[in-house]
Amino acid sequence: MHVVKGKINQAIDAIKSQIIQVAEAIFDHPETGNQEYFAADLLTGILTEKGFRITRPLGQLPTAFRAQMAIAPGPVVGLLAEYDALPGLGHACGHNLIAAASLGAALGLAAVKDELRGSIVVLGTPAEESCGAKVLLVRDGVLDDLDVALMFHPGDANIVEVSSLALEALEFIFEGRAAHAASCPEEGANALEAVIQLFNNINALRPYLKDEASIHGIIVEGGVSPNIIPERAVARFYLRARTREALNRVAQRVEDCATAAALATGTRFWYHNYEPSYEAMLVNRTLAAAWQRNLQELGVTDLAPASRSRGSLDMGNVSRLVPAIHPYLSLNAGRLVPHTRQFARVVRGEAGRQLAVLAARALAWTAADVMLDRELLARIKEEFAGGQVTK
């Protein structure tokens, strides 16, 4: 194994400048969710050149792709590449580094393919910041044949185990009756009052939630003129909780809040999911331990404790289908808040360049472990089979 990892390192040394160029080119052409044509073209272009077979688009996603190199029968290792930017802020979440690192890992592995078995798959997963394309790719079966799914995310600490909350995106639509608000209010039924009541009911519920549940909402429609009783009002919420079961309980309570609001105001309502649901991230600890060993061997020793993120990741759905990790690696630039201009500056600087290459090495080494160490893969799968109970 040591020999193979040494060769992977040499291969990545040889393409260091290409990894950095890709990271910087994507940074310099920021594209928001499902618009990442430059990034997808760039990545699939390089992968084609290196002998990967490309499938694109995937389903309805024009900038999603799957690039595969089948070496020999054996494990199928998925390296996930994100490449979407944020409106107005560009690559202030560093997804360009994720793309460059997964590409670099795939090329590093491809360069030593005679020493490996199995298949290398690079999955281009767009729109992480908006519609969560991984949820759709999981639904469409694009990841069904993977044995593991690997990716990293840049941050301000080295965190091996990153879990996240399950998320439900619900839109409530209330329908009342329009009438002149001043001269004949008794003829109307106020849908905006129902939405306000829904918020008040949720606020009454909020202190009694457990399992790190949270509810955040906005009013999307609230009437058209003060002298017309609003006949339609719409509110959107993100509901989150540590487990799917807890989230389902919260969703039931919120539905009860809406029922009460409708009763109180004489309106009716319906609701639906306006964005895909995210599952809570289930970290495969055996796979995470392999990643950690590799990191340490690569000289990364300042590891932060496991983090229970209060946000949500579309990688959560992947982690319920196949054993997966979504570790963070530090940009080593002090405290950094993602989705800020400062984060973007660090991503575009020397810290970003070094991190893309380091992450490529760690991903490639971990992929090689999975491809070559049958006993490790068996333990990863055993944990996965027993670990579907959410923690």
Residues that bind Zn ion (CB under 5 A): 93
CB of residue 183 vs Zn ion: minimum separation in angstroms? 53
CB of residue 286 vs Zn ion: minimum separation in angstroms? 25
Rounded to the nearest 5 percent, the helix, strand and coil shares of the chain are 45, 25, 30
Please return the burial class of 377, using the count of CB atoms within 10 Å of its CB with bins 0-12, 13-18 and 19+.
Answer: buried
- Cα separation, 176 vs 130, in Å, equals 31
CB of residue 280 vs Zn ion: minimum separation in angstroms? 17
- Cα separation, 152 vs 362, in Å, equals 9
CB of residue 27 vs Zn ion: minimum separation in angstroms? 14
Residue number with the smallest Cβ distance to Zn ion: 93
List, in order, residues 6 or more apart from 188 with CB less than 8 Å away: 176, 177, 178, 179, 180, 181, 229, 231
> Which residue number, 93 or 151, has a Cβ lying nearer to Zn ion?
93
> Which residue number, 161 or 193, has a Cβ lying nearer to Zn ion?
161
> Which residue number, 93 or 111, has a Cβ lying nearer to Zn ion?
93
CB of residue 129 vs Zn ion: minimum separation in angstroms? 7
Q: DSSP readout, 220-239?
A: EEE-S-TTB--SEEEEEEEE
Give the number of residues written for the chain. Answer: 391
Write out the two tokens for 331.
Answer: 């940009």
> Which residue number, 78 or 338, has a Cβ lying nearer to Zn ion?
338
> Which residue number, 66 or 95, has a Cβ lying nearer to Zn ion?
95
What interhelical angle do 374-386 and 350-372 show, nearest 10?
100
CB of residue 128 vs Zn ion: minimum separation in angstroms? 6
> Which residue number, 93 or 160, has a Cβ lying nearer to Zn ion?
93
> Which residue number, 93 or 281, has a Cβ lying nearer to Zn ion?
93
List, in order, residues 6 or more apart from 346 with CB less than 8 Å away: 331, 333, 336, 352
CB of residue 78 vs Zn ion: minimum separation in angstroms? 18
- Cα separation, 306 vs 158, in Å, equals 9
Q: Catalogue the E-assigned strands of 112-226.
A: 118-124, 148-150, 153-155, 158-159, 162-163, 166-175, 214-222
